[in-house]
């Protein structure tokens, strides 16, 4: 009788977990493909920074957040969002710096200016639509709309 009979079974179970972790489901592939499309097509637009992807990172792509440099883009974030909205492209702004949330501002006395790096990143961030049912046509429309919004003819 083996001293540790379940060790072999445990090793096999972990091998399965690792294999599943490294394989991509259709949903992951779709989101990864859409993100790659956005990264490729938006990267050369003036004032638009796309998310970097370090090699060792497995990104979930639940959001696609661009970094809008208003000076280079020639449009501020509010105008950019408005122009996209007028074209039927919904956007959002995520990740408000923690110190600007009402609770922390009230109880800890934080205010704008306390963490300028976090605030600058937040002020430039715009989340573009990205969802599993997005078609190639939808993605192409979003990219085209971003270009029009930057040119001011959106």
Sequence-distant (6+) residues with CB within 8 A of 119 are: 97, 100, 112, 113
pLDDT of residue 119: 96
Decide if 73 contacts 148 (C-beta within 8 A): no
**Domain span at residue 63?**
24-151
Question: What's the number of domains the chain is made of?
Answer: 1
Nearest Cα residue to 51 out of 153, 127, 129: 127
pLDDT of residue 85: 97
Residue 49, domain member (yes or no): yes
User: Along the 154 residues of the chain, how does pLDDT read in single tens digits?
Assistant: 455 444 444 555 555 555 555 555 556 668 899 999 999 999 999 999 999 988 888 888 989 999 999 999 999 999 999 999 999 999 999 989 999 999 999 999 999 999 999 999 999 999 999 998 899 999 999 999 999 999 987 6
Nearest Cα residue to 121 out of 96, 143, 100: 96
What is the residue whose two structure tokens read 């009402």?
A: 102
Residue 1, domain member (yes or no): no
Residue 57, domain member (yes or no): yes
pLDDT of residue 151: 92
Residue 14, domain member (yes or no): no
Residue 87, domain member (yes or no): yes
Residue 8, domain member (yes or no): no
Residue 112, domain member (yes or no): yes
Q: 3-class SS at 130? A: coil
- CATH code, domain with 50: 3.90.1150.10
Is the full-model pTM beyond 0.75? yes
Query: Which strands, in side-by-side order, build the sheet including 48-49?
Result: 48-49, 64-68, 125-128
Nearest Cα residue to 147 out of 64, 63, 38: 38
Sequence-distant (6+) residues with CB within 8 A of 39 are: 50, 51, 53
Residue 6, domain member (yes or no): no
């Amino acid at each position: 009788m083996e001293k540790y009979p379940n060790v072999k079974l445990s090793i096999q179970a972990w091998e399965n977990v690792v294999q599943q972790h490294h394989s991509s489901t259709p949903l992951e592939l779709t989101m990864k493909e859409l993100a790659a499309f956005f990264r490729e097509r938006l990267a050369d637009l003036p004032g638009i920074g796309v998310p970097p992807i370090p090699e060792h990172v497995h990104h979930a792509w639940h959001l696609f957040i661009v970094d809008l440099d208003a000076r280079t883009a020639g449009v501020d974030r509010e105008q950019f969002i408005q122009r996209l909205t007028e074209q039927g492209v919904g956007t959002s702004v995520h990740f408000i710096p923690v110190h600007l949330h009402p609770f922390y501002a009230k109880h800890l006395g934080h205010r704008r200016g306390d963490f300028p790096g976090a605030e600058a990143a937040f002020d430039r961030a715009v989340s573009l639509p990205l969802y599993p049912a997005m078609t190639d046509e939808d993605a192409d429309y979003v990219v085209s709309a971003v270009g029009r919004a930057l040119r001011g003819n959106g």
